[in-house]
Amino acid sequence: MKIAIAQLNYHIGNFEGNVSKMLEAIRWAEAQEADLICFSELATCGYPPRDFLEFDDFITQCEAAIDRLKEASNQIAVVVGSPSRNPVVEGKDLYNSVYFLYENEIKFVQHKTLLPTYDVFDEYRYFEPATEWGTYEFKGVRFSLTVCEDIWNVGNDNPLYTICPLDEMQKDSPACILNVSASPFNYDHAESRIHVCKANIARYNIPMFYVNHVGAQTELIFDGGSLVMSPNGDIFEELPYFEESMKVFDLEKVQNATQSVEQPKDKILEIHDAIVLGIKDYFGKLGFTKAVVGLSGGIDSAVTTALAARALGPENVRVLLMPSQFSSDHSVNDAVALCENFGVHYDIIAIKDVYDAFMDKLSPVFGDLPFNVTEENIQARTRGTLLMAISNKFGNILLNTSNKSEAAVGYGTLYGDMAGGLSVIGDVYKTDVFELARFINKDGELIPVNSITKPPSAELRPNQKDSDSLPEYDILDKILFHYIEEQQGPKEIIAMGYDDVLVKRILRLVNINEFKRHQTAPVLRVSSKAFGMGRRMPIVGKYLS
């Protein structure tokens, strides 16, 4: 038997686009004489459809998509994920299902059992879990059909769950596992995915075809990396990361494989490629082509501009340099050099006159109150307004340049440098931004070395440096990592040897700045815990604040 897997880039709610793409893949697989083609989880509607699932019309369109795929299944079996209605009144209205289509019929449907409801996932908000499990025999091979998380509780060793769906299916002695997935990227995820696939194979000793999404849906980036596993636990094939891919496999060869292939994994390379895809799809799926970035001469805006130029093409990126009286000369020079290296258009607008106009109007109200963060914020908001003016006039989406370290401690101005339609490096700690810059420069100096080596500064008052008010980034980022990614409390972090006062101050800063992060752009997620939909914190909460 020949099995095709299709790792495709879907678009949420774009039924026409998604179905056309799958129909084309079916024709391709037929031409390759495949007996079966397997797509991904909720491929008809894209993942995550979120509250669109609560609209009856949306589900009707999912059903219509299945009908169209069914019409194409005369010669070839089609395995595809889509929502299905729960016919029973009790319980949630929907199941998250995988369909087996063949001979223009729905031959078999298996519902998802394990519904991730943590971090960025809300599946129990919409779906009822399966309580019945079956298998389906096709051309002499009995298949277990599973949906994503269903294979993540191998032998019930995942403390989140109480059921192992594949154990339930063993009564039928299946010969092959198909898994339709929508498993979002983080820089540790490819390894976890391989680990869990191997654990399944070790338990069941049959081949597995694991088919993931690729592409970004706002903040969530899907890296692909679909897997074909041989029954001996070797990786027969791992599809590429961050691109669409289709391939046909001879089941007998997978059964009797001696090969084991695996792509190299590199954290910074993966983050780089993930963000480039994240930018590309955010623009493409919204129907935009052009970006604008505010370039300061510092490393964050330099890396953001570089990633944008790679995602959209340098001709689609324009930058604005907006020096103030506090900007150093080398900042402007570094910014200009970067634009020339990447070939992106730049304009320079000095902000002093606008800033002075603001201060002139405010001075009767402010009286002789001293210069403080207010005036710093006016500079940042003047820049934000100029950038949004470019965005509005020319149709360029403003890219936000905040990094995860400063977003964490609230080191940024709402409606100023925190403005933008998409946060590009908001899930990348400052220490990793430096790594990204070095990675971008690996074949030559594209980002001026001075932007990388000079001490970080917001340049909002004379001789300001980040380290005036924050600890060095290598300490700060470690404390933040323990608190945010590892969810350690103050006692645990202090017990690791960090300074008591510093830890409490940092954790307090993270908590009291929740109100700022609430109002920021979606953040391209590259870690296991990003700010945004996967981290839900009270604003008025008093804990650790």
- Active site residue ranges: 41, 112, 148
- Is 150 in contact with 113 (CB distance < 8 Å)? yes
**What SS3 class is residue 73?**
coil
Residues 6 or more apart whose Cβ sits within 8 Å of residue 217: 11, 12, 46, 47, 48, 281, 285
* Long-range contacts of the stretch 542-545 (C-beta < 8 A, 24+): 543/511, 544/489, 544/490, 544/504, 544/507, 544/508, 544/511, 545/508, 545/511, 545/512
Q: How far is the CB of 182 from a second copy (least distance, A)?
A: 13
Segment near a second copy (CB under 8 A); pick from 70-78, 382-390, 429-437, 494-502: 382-390
**Residue closer to a second copy, measured from CB, 50 or 461:** 50
389 binds a second copy (CB under 8 A): yes
Please state, in angstroms and rounded to a whole number, the distance separating the CA atoms of residues 397 and 202: 48
**Using the rule CB under 8 A, which residue among 365, 455, 463, 497 binds a second copy?**
365
DSSP 90: S
Does residue 520 touch a second copy according to CB under 8 A?
A: yes
Q: Please state whether beta strands 94-102 and 77-85 pair in parallel, antiparallel, or not at all (unpaired).
A: antiparallel
Q: Which of 2, 68, 85, 92 binds a second copy (CB under 8 A)?
A: 92
The answer to the question of residue 259 lying near a second copy (CB under 8 A) is no
Which residue type does 267 have? K
Closest contact distance (angstroms) between CB of 533 and a second copy is: 8
Long-range contacts of 339-342 (CB under 8 A, 24+ apart): 339/295, 339/305, 341/445, 341/446, 341/447, 341/448, 342/305, 342/306, 342/309, 342/314, 342/317, 342/446
536 makes contact with a second copy (CB under 8 A): yes
- Residue 393 CA to residue 395 CA, distance in Å, equals 6
Per-residue interface string for the shown chain with a second copy, residues 130-159, x marking contact by CB under 8 A: --------------------------x--x
Pattern 476-495, a second copy, x by CB under 8 A: -----------x-xxxx---
Q: Does 385 bind a second copy (CB under 8 A)?
A: yes
Q: Which of 369, 449, 495, 496 binds a second copy (CB under 8 A)?
A: 369
Considering only residues 4 through 43, tell me which ones interact with a second copy, judged by CB under 8 A. Answer: 11-14, 17
Stretch that binds a second copy, among 264-272, 309-317, 402-410, 519-527 (CB under 8 A): 519-527
CA pair distance 127, 115, nearest whole angstrom: 8
In this chain, which of 381, 404, 430, 525 binds a second copy, going by CB under 8 A? 381
- C-alpha–C-alpha distance, residues 148 and 366, integer Å: 58
According to CB under 8 A, which residues from 153 to 192 bind a second copy? Answer: 156, 159-162
Applying CB under 8 A, the site for a second copy has a residue count of 96
Strand 345-348, strand 317-321: pairing: parallel
Q: Is 202 in the site for a second copy (CB under 8 A)?
A: no
Residue 429 as a binder of a second copy (CB under 8 A): the answer is: no
Question: Among 259-267, 308-316, 402-410, 536-544, which window interacts with a second copy (CB under 8 A)?
Answer: 536-544
Please identify, among the stretches 74-82, 227-235, 353-361, 473-481, the one whose residues bind a second copy according to the rule CB under 8 A. Answer: 353-361
First CA to last CA across the chain, in angstroms? 61
Applying CB under 8 A, among 27, 125, 267, 438 the residue interacting with a second copy is 125
